[in-house]
Structure 1
Amino acid sequence: NDFIDLVNELWPKVESHNRASCYGELTWFEFMIAASFYYFEKCDADFQVVETGLGGRLDATNVLLPKVSVITSISLDHTKILGETIEEIAFEKGGIIKSGIPVVLSLQRFDKATEVIKDIANKRNSKLLNVSDLFSVQNVCNFKEFQVFDVKTEHTAFQLELGLLGHHQIENSLTALGAINVLKKSGVEISQNAIDQGFKNVRWSGRLEYLSTSQSAFELLVDGAHNVYSMECLVREIKNIKYKNLILIFGGFNSHDLEGMLRVLLELDPILIGVNSRHPKSVQASVIDSISEKIKFRERFFYESVAEGFDYASNISVEGDLILATGSLSVVAEVIESQKEMLPELYQKF
């Protein structure tokens, strides 16, 4: 109800702006960002955690003066918009760095990305806290729904229980710890118990998430990986799981590197089921067919809906198989929807 009231209150202002503006109409994302800022102000929120939509430098979120800026792992993603090199993408990401505001940099796989961010931080007199210099991790123990690990700093060591799976989520947790340290040094009171409970209780639907099914023959895992780097992270985790056959339900968007992702997934020798989600930007299953033909999957099948693809995967599975749905969050969402008996979303021009 809050969201409905918010849209009803603000939409007349959007229409008024669109009629008068010489800069074009507000995008849906711009409206959602403005509405969220307005709503959080009304709620008198203590803190807002605001994620950029795309890049950073020219993003609609980049009007804020934050307490701390955070830059996560930079990879080749959205290259048609952000640039085709790591340096170009890092420059766009670094656009959120503000003069005199500390910036936390997560573990980076490309040294060139770190160099670009360091250069921007130096020019803007922003203290750079590199997570790789602040923390180290030991004694990782994985369980089906959580993981436990030891964190070491220069002066202390402690154990964390994390309610998310995957080594990349450990890296993300270290980045969060870096941001927490910045806030604590600025005078914000955050207890160790609050930190412990936050990491323990965090859940992120659609990210290496096991779903319960009515059929016991197979296990069902969904993950919203949608670029080559995130797919590499996913494959690394899947290799640690025991299963008989891997049945892969895959769909994506035109703007994604579909071939690159499929080549990474080929390492797992899966049975491929290409699907087309309901999302307007989703590629047709026939496109996945043509791309995958040259990659040499052992078996390939294609369906024009996620539901049909999942039904087929269920029918061909045997005891001990693992069904994995990935490639886009829209594919994952439709599988979650079917398993949790949720109402489907509506795609309409707003």
Structure 2
Amino acid sequence: MEEFLSATGDPQQTYPCIHVGGTNGKGSVGSMVSAVLSHGDHSVGLYTSPHLCSFRERFQVDGIPIPENELGALVEEFRSEIHRHGLTFFEAATGLAFHLFQKRGVDVAVIEVGLGGRLDATNVVVPLLTAITNITKDHSEYLGETLPEIAREKAGIIKGGVPFITTESDEEILDILKSTCVRVGAPFLSVRPDLESLDLEIEEDHTAFTISTATWGVLRIRTPLVGVHQAINGALSIALLELLPSRFRPTRTNLLEGMAGVRWPGRAQLEYFEGQTWIFDIAHNTAGARALASVLERLDLPRPIVLLIAVLGDKDWRSMLPPLFRRADHVVLTQTFSAPVKRRWDPATAAREAASPLAEISFDFKEALARVRNLAGSGTIVVTGSTHTVGDALQVLDLAAFSDS
């Protein structure tokens, strides 16, 4: 990766970056920070992964994905160097993002870590700030079987002299993050908002919370991203924005309006479609499933609540399903059509182990969608389990914000 970048001019060194890692919420934090900065006078690049419906979603400037013709031209320009250096798919995408942001002349880029941190392709930037949202078990086959092992991998993005912020609350993990900061010489800040002091308001179309800051005083934040976890992500985003150099630090008005205007599809995304209430959430691991279950518990949704679930086979679906089943009146387990065959789970095995009268199986994704619509009547349909699940549903229903098809 570094050889490719060096051979093509090290584009990632031509603009400042904010580097965001963690197990869950890093995309939400990245989208919040970039939305606020874009709301001011700055041109802001945002690189995220994976995508829901279109590869172009990964590369955004001022909230707009790269046009198809521009992406095609970028691929052709660097195709030979990508092949010459043997880049993986993710490495190639990351390199293209760095070059796109250079060509567009962004003032700052927000870069989401792909997997882990220490060995991630994005870990070549020299950031203004780094952050880790939280650390839970996921991708254990790559990052380690225990939380401390995973934490050490993710802590690899911490850089000497670069302020580091986290909303992680586990003391053992915090000790690892703190010791890494001490070892490399990075200022450490822990943001752990007390939920009671946030004065939370969670509705179908927004989350509102109150937070005190040194720069802007007391703020009442409203964001369209729904859930307790999004208030915590919001607190981390605001802490990042407050730590930025003065030339990037937003005004109070830009902060409030940027947070209110953030768009991050597939995260408790609410849609009213043909007389039914739909919620699309990519919850792809246990922590994500619990966060979605919390949202379903807090909202007064039309009944029945019918879940359409398709999980990747390498995820811990045995711990993901129980909190979701407890919030459902019916559940349909299925497979997605966009996930690689070798990563698909077996819904029959999941149904058998769940041993729940709520669950039924439909292997064909489109048939499963039709089934949940029939079961829900005028109630609520929740589509969840993976990015593939949500992306496939949005495309079938023609609700995708961006599509390559």
TM-score (norm 2): 0.77
| Residue correspondence of structure 1 range 267-346 to structure 2 within 5 A | 267-281=326-340, 287-319=346-378, 321-340=379-398
- Deviation per residue, 1:295-319 (Å, 9 max, x gap): 2222322222322111011112233
| C-alpha contact (below 8 Å) 1:276/1:306 kept by paired residues | yes
1:81 aligns with 2:149: no
Alignment root-mean-square deviation, CA: 2.2
Report the CA distance between 1:269 and its aligned residue. 4.2
- Deviation per residue, 1:198-255 (Å, 9 max, x gap): 10000111110112212x1x31111011000111111011012233222110112122
| Correspondence for 1:103 | 164
Report the CA distance between 1:82 and its aligned residue. 0.6
Provide the rounded CA distance (Å) in 1 between the counterparts of 2:260 and 2:193.
Answer: 24
> Against the structure 1 CA distance between its residues 240 and 306, is the aligned structure 2 distance closer, same or farther, given a 3 Å change threshold?
same
Larger radius of gyration: 1
> Against the structure 1 CA distance between its residues 341 and 87, is the aligned structure 2 distance closer, same or farther, given a 3 Å change threshold?
closer
| Correspondence for 2:283 | 225
The secondary structure found in structure 1 opposite 2:111 is: coil
Q: In terms of mean alpha carbon deviation, does 171-180 or 336-345 score higher?
A: 336-345
**Which of 198, 222, 228 lines up with 1:161 in the alignment?**
222
Provide the rounded CA distance (Å) in 2 between the counterparts of 1:137 and 1:309.
Answer: 42
- Deviation per residue, 1:291-345 (Å, 9 max, x gap): 23122222322222322111011112233x2211100011111111122365975
| Correspondence for 1:49 | 110
Provide the rounded CA distance (Å) in 1 between the counterparts of 2:230 and 2:342.
Answer: 28
The secondary structure found in structure 2 opposite 1:239 is: helix
Provide the rounded CA distance (Å) in 2 between the counterparts of 1:219 and 1:102.
Answer: 42
- Deviation per residue, 1:82-129 (Å, 9 max, x gap): 1111111111110000011100112x2422211110110111111011
Provide the rounded CA distance (Å) in 2 between the counterparts of 1:306 and 1:142.
Answer: 31
Provide the rounded CA distance (Å) in 2 between the counterparts of 1:60 and 1:128.
Answer: 24
> Against the structure 1 CA distance between its residues 130 and 31, is the aligned structure 2 distance closer, same or farther, given a 3 Å change threshold?
same
Unaligned runs of 5+ in 2: 1-68
Whichever residue aligns with residue 191 of structure 2, its letter is V
Unaligned runs of 5+ in 1: 18-24
> Against the structure 1 CA distance between its residues 341 and 140, is the aligned structure 2 distance closer, same or farther, given a 3 Å change threshold?
closer
Provide the rounded CA distance (Å) in 1 between the counterparts of 2:399 and 2:173.
Answer: 42
Report the CA distance between 1:285 and its aligned residue. 7.7
| Correspondence for 1:150 | 210
Provide the rounded CA distance (Å) in 1 between the counterparts of 2:295 and 2:138.
Answer: 21
Report the CA distance between 1:153 and its aligned residue. 4.0
| C-alpha contact (below 8 Å) 2:333/2:360 kept by paired residues | yes
Higher RCO, 1 vs 2 (CA within 8 Å, ≥6 residues apart): 2
Provide the rounded CA distance (Å) in 2 between the counterparts of 1:88 and 1:3.
Answer: 37
- Deviation per residue, 1:58-101 (Å, 9 max, x gap): 00110111000011111111111111111111111100000111
**Which of 114, 137, 161 lines up with 2:174 in the alignment?**
114
